[in-house]
Structure 1
Amino acid sequence: MEILTVVLLWAFGLAVVLGFFATKTNFCTMGAVSDVVNIGDTGRMRSWVFAIGLAILGVMGLSLLGLTNTSLIANNDTANPPYLTANFAWPRHILGGLIFGIGMTLGSGCGNKTLVRLGGGNIKSIFVFLAMGVTTYLMIFTNFSYTAFLSWMEPAFIDLSLNDIENQGLGTVIAHFIGTEIESTTTIVAALLGGLLILWAFLSNDFRGSLDNILGGFIVALVVVTAWWVTTGELGQTLLEEAEMMDEQPFALGAQSFTFSQPSGHFLRWVETGFSSSLYTFALMAAFGVVVGSFLYSILARKFRFEWFANWKDFVVHIIGGLLMGIGGVLAMGCTIGQGVTGASTLAMGSFLTVFAIVLGSALTMKIQFYKMVYEEEASFGKALVAGLADMKLLPNSFRKLDKV
């Protein structure tokens, strides 16, 4: 069996596990933000943070045992995407994260949740996936990304290598400023940060009182870390070496783990090329796996249900959400899983910045929707936006035109 096939089968198999348990435990980052904003429940948010903490410790452990080569993640030629590159592209992380956060709220879930819902019979998710695919395709396979965003963003990017900083990993940056050795500093930072995130998760009964929250976070971290082992370990390194000898390298090859900002665009490209085998990417196989895993659980638990749009407005809102997720996900180089867990597990500064922007964009969108629902015609977009920002302590209360509800 060809080594590429083995890697793709790993992607599919791990994603089946992810889809199965994400459906069972209702692991959902948009739902996590909604729980906090609307009812004050932090259980699913802590499940996400628990997954991040575990993934950080898992990647650290693999590196200490010599089972992976994490330097591959910092190289544009060997990673997809290169989370740890020395080029700190902070504007794309902020704007991309905000756009993605808005989109996932309008689309009723992030890229992973869209696939999970699709596997459970939600027909709406097919349209969200395809809408997301259109803009993802444009961002990846055309000049749209550069023309619309990168052309004016790039001058603000910070090249850390000009200051003799090898990459944007928190451990590397801290080691540079305090004058310590990079590897040991990275290990200490990973152990402290991962441990603190896990501790924070368990401090609330919202999290520890729910087996599903614990299981969901554990499974997400497990599959992300295992995927890193596959693509940056012996198997992945051998594949990269073999690829250098190929006349035509497979598309989107490299050190990577789970991200769901790419699959929809890869899917449309795959269809466009007549289902070319060169488009069997890690991300595409992961998407197929999540749908299969979700479908299996939904059938076994007898929860498979067809769901359609409530009305035309519902349809339009979901399509807009999908379009925005495609733009934001590629611009930010990842989604709630791709940056929120996979990227964060590498300690990349851009990943944490993206997570913050996604949560902010999602929470603010929910606030605006809430005020427009409560105040109806009185609540213009501007008034709802200011009220939402005031609720989130980002503007003084004196600025608001709508009373807090």
Structure 2
Amino acid sequence: MEEINVGSIQSTVLWATFAVGLAFGAISHRTHFCTMGAVADVFNFGDWNRMRMWIVAISVATLGLQGMSLAGLANLNDTIYLNNQWSWLSGILGGVMFGAGMVLASGCGSKTLIRLGAGNLKALMVFVIMGISAYMTLRGVFGVLRANYLDPVRFEFESSAYLPDLLSNLISTEPSTISQVLAIALPLLLLIFALANKSAWNKEVILGGVGVGLTVLAAWWVIFQMAYIPEHPDTLEAAYLGSYANRAEGFSFVAPYAFTLEWLMFFSDQSRVLTVGVVACFGVILGAAASALTEKSFRWETFQGVEDTANHTVGAVLMGVGGVLALGCTVGQGLSGVSTLSLASWVALFSIVLGAMVALKYQMWRVERMI
């Protein structure tokens, strides 16, 4: 049997993820892909274009991943999203916190990286505070509260939170066939909804939605087809090389913030190694920077006053804590998670949107008070 070169495979996985991160950052910056902006456009102006772009991205990523799963190229149960235990209180509370935080901080986790790449110094502060808050929720004081009081409030599924299975069990005595049909039909219906309006048929919406969706799918391809080895030579168990917890990891930008700061602070400690989440963060920043420089929109930007600083600080804390509770951000849950068709991910996504709407309402109230 040919010996597996684990180091070489892991290096390839990290470089491939970095390249996908570059593409994600460049496409998102060039097309103004932004989840917070999408919700704000609908809430403030009734403009659905960026929302349709986001839905197109969800549809493309979901169609691709479900196709991989049906073809036997991806094991969705190896992700964190399809556990049979759903900590619903953490997911909903964390989603609302993250959604509110991304409005106060002028963008979600991925948008913060994109703004940082384009020269926004406010995004640098958000990155650091969000990373520290996420770490505190993973392992620190907030983590104790999470583990003792929030995560234990859970619902147990008979098998998993896979939405096609849950729906097919309700409507058919032959659930497996119906489930496979639903796995493709659900994202197709989303795509039809997104493109049903003529306003969606413009270059920015199509390129942004399809481009971001394909990068999320590419990240899944790397982890399932390049990072997976059925038997690690050291442990003799299956492994996902380059992952943090030996799970199949899609794009997400909350916990990787914490691990990026950890890697930078403990660089000389050989036990701290690069993971796909960390290199994805670096890739998105550099991809956005390259896009900003080529279109000559790169510029330094800083805070406008005390209230602006306070909003970004509070928003960063809410995103760091909320993102860990919800097991992801608008990319981690809103693209990677929902592409697995996990019911828990869809609930987290709706919670994020709800939190964003509450914060937008608050901002509107603040403006009206000042007039």
Distance verdict in 2 for CA 1:370–1:63, change over 3 Å: same
Correspondence for 1:274: 267
8 Å contact 1:41–1:206 — kept in the other structure? no
Of 174, 188, 203, the match for 2:196: 203
Residue identity in the other structure for 1:346: T
Looking at structure 2, the residues matched to 321 and 182 of structure 1 have their Cα atoms a distance apart, in angstroms, of: 43
Q: Find the residue that maps to 1:279 and give its secondary structure.
A: coil
RMSD after superposition: 2.1
Looking at structure 2, the residues matched to 346 and 312 of structure 1 have their Cα atoms a distance apart, in angstroms, of: 41
Identity of paired residues, percent? 36
Per-residue CA deviations over 1:139-161 (Å, capped at 9, x if unaligned) read 1233532x32342234430111x
Looking at structure 2, the residues matched to 111 and 243 of structure 1 have their Cα atoms a distance apart, in angstroms, of: 35
8 Å contact 1:20–1:294 — kept in the other structure? yes
Correspondence for 1:79: none
Distance verdict in 2 for CA 1:238–1:192, change over 3 Å: same
Q: Which has the higher contact order (CA 8 A, sep 6+)?
A: 2
Distance verdict in 2 for CA 1:119–1:319, change over 3 Å: same
Correspondence for 2:204: 212
User: Shift in Å at residue 6 of structure 1?
Assistant: 1.1
Correspondence for 1:41: 47
Gaps of 5+ in 2: 1-6
Distance verdict in 2 for CA 1:289–1:192, change over 3 Å: same
Q: What TM-score does the superposition give when structure 1 sets the normalisation length?
A: 0.84
8 Å contact 2:120–2:299 — kept in the other structure? yes
Correspondence for 2:232: 241
Looking at structure 1, the residues matched to 363 and 174 of structure 2 have their Cα atoms a distance apart, in angstroms, of: 49
Looking at structure 1, the residues matched to 343 and 268 of structure 2 have their Cα atoms a distance apart, in angstroms, of: 37
User: Shift in Å at residue 292 of structure 1?
Assistant: 0.6
Looking at structure 2, the residues matched to 279 and 98 of structure 1 have their Cα atoms a distance apart, in angstroms, of: 32
Residue identity in the other structure for 1:236: A
Looking at structure 2, the residues matched to 191 and 363 of structure 1 have their Cα atoms a distance apart, in angstroms, of: 30
Correspondence for 2:353: 359
Q: What TM-score does the superposition give when structure 2 sets the normalisation length?
A: 0.92
Looking at structure 2, the residues matched to 12 and 170 of structure 1 have their Cα atoms a distance apart, in angstroms, of: 31
Of 253, 256, 262, the match for 1:260: 253
Looking at structure 2, the residues matched to 52 and 346 of structure 1 have their Cα atoms a distance apart, in angstroms, of: 10
Distance verdict in 2 for CA 1:43–1:272, change over 3 Å: same
User: Shift in Å at residue 270 of structure 1?
Assistant: 1.1
Distance verdict in 2 for CA 1:303–1:183, change over 3 Å: farther
1:88 aligns with 2:94: no
Residue identity in the other structure for 1:227: A
Distance verdict in 2 for CA 1:154–1:334, change over 3 Å: closer
Aligned residues: 361
Looking at structure 2, the residues matched to 67 and 115 of structure 1 have their Cα atoms a distance apart, in angstroms, of: 30
Looking at structure 1, the residues matched to 326 and 269 of structure 2 have their Cα atoms a distance apart, in angstroms, of: 27
Gaps of 5+ in 1: 74-81, 378-405
